Amino acid sequence: GLPNDPGIYQRSLIHLFRIANERLNDIDYTISVSMLEIYNEKIRDLLSNSKNNLPIRIGNDGMLDIPGLLVLNVSTLQEVQEVLKKGQMNRASATTDLNDRSSRSHAIVCVRVRSVNRTTNDISESRLNLVDLAGSERVSQSGATGQQLKEAQCINRSLSELGNVVSALRQRQQHIPFRNCQLTRLLENCLNGDSKTLVVVQLAPDTTAIQEILSSLNFADKLSKVQRRNQSSKTSQISIGLLSTPSKHERHCHVWILAFYVL
């Protein structure tokens, strides 16, 4: 988004820093940011010049960890915006018949927040994940060939696997196939019952994209019906938000997942 028209990432971080500043007299906050993309089933650090495929590990706290991922401390909103700008510039994109700048990857911004109560010295750690999903692509319409065809196939497969995870969660199956692809592995903490999750679907009122719009709405509907159970045996639902854009330069459909959880 632009400074006078902030996007999902910026709005979320503006709110985060406003809360941190309001509580500054009582709580000392340390905020850090990382940004990665999932490109052709490879995890790449968008804040590093390296294009190496990074591994996924389970940390000592039981949470997913990515060794080698650059994590930067930030103290102001302006610093975060510079970090996001660099990450977006490094993100894989290409021109297709449907879009002048089509994202060829899923992107995840992870904001780590460590808070220390100045009176009690109690420490709390939490994470906010901002997930920008690449759009599902109809190859026959996008004109993808060669490398772009491979990228489209990887995107479509990962979105299909995400749909399978959502269906399994909705049906409360014993086994949830999170490990079937990199996207669902990284979204496990976002979709389980201990996170507060919001899915934002942006739609363009374009009659030429009816099938794409209906598919996105159907996906959001399935997510909204997922009943999750947390460690306290309480159930929670995933919230859904819908946005409309009149811009012909925007993708017909754009989906973000925002998830907050305490470690």
Q: What is the mean pLDDT of residues 176-199?
A: 92
pLDDT at 208: 75
Q: Tell me the average pLDDT across 112-138.
A: 92
With b meaning 16 or more CB within 10 Å and e meaning fewer, what string describes 73-89?
ebeebeebbebbeebbe
What is the model's pTM?
Answer: 0.89
Is the per-residue pLDDT at 146 higher than 90? no
Each residue of 205-226: pLDDT tens digit? 777 778 888 888 888 898 888 8
The answer on pLDDT for 155 being more than 80 is yes
* CA–CA separation, 240 and 24 (whole Å): 31
Residue that wins the pLDDT comparison between 15 and 192 = 15
Query: What six digits make up the tokens of 132?
Result: 């920008």
User: Are 259 and 236 a contacting pair, CB within 8 Å?
Assistant: no
CA pair distance 183, 187, nearest whole angstrom: 6
Q: Looking at residue 76, what is its pLDDT?
A: 93
| Residue in 262, 242, 123, 111 with CA at minimum distance from that of residue 192 | 262
Predicted local distance difference test score (pLDDT) of residue 99: 47
Whole-number Å distance between alpha carbons of 214 and 112: 35
Check whether 186 has a pLDDT greater than 70.
yes
| Torsion, CA 206, CA 207, CA 213, CA 217, rounded to 10 | 110
CA distance 95 to 93: 7
SS3 28: strand
Q: List the chain domain ranges.
A: 8-262
What sign does the dihedral 5-159-146-140 (CA atoms) show?
negative
> Looking at residues 162-178, what average pLDDT do you find?
93
What confidence tier does 181 reach under pLDDT thresholds 50, 70, 90? very high
How confident is the model at residue 243, as a pLDDT? 83
Tell me the pLDDT band of 3, cut-offs 50, 70 and 90: low
Q: How far, in Å, CA of 43 to CA of 172, rounded?
A: 29
Cβ atoms within 10 Å of 136's Cβ, excluding its own:
18
Retrieve residue 166's tokens: 């959502």
Place of tokens 């994940």: 129
Statement: residue 143 has pLDDT above 80: no
The per-residue pLDDT for 247 is 53
Residue 167: pLDDT over 90? yes
CATH 3.30.1360.180 assigned to domain 8-262? The reply is no
pLDDT at 16: 94
Q: pLDDT tens for residues 68-111?
A: 999 999 999 999 999 999 999 998 765 444 444 457 899 999 99
CA atoms of 194 and 29, how far apart (whole Å): 22
d(CA 130, CA 88): 13
Higher pLDDT pick, 249 / 246? 246
| pLDDT average, residue stretch 52-58 | 92
Q: In 3D, which of 81, 106, 97 has the Cα closest to residue 10? A: 81
pLDDT at 188: 92
In three-state secondary structure terms, 145 is coil
3-state secondary structure of 196: strand
Q: Angle at CA 223, nearest 5°, toward 170 and 109?
A: 125
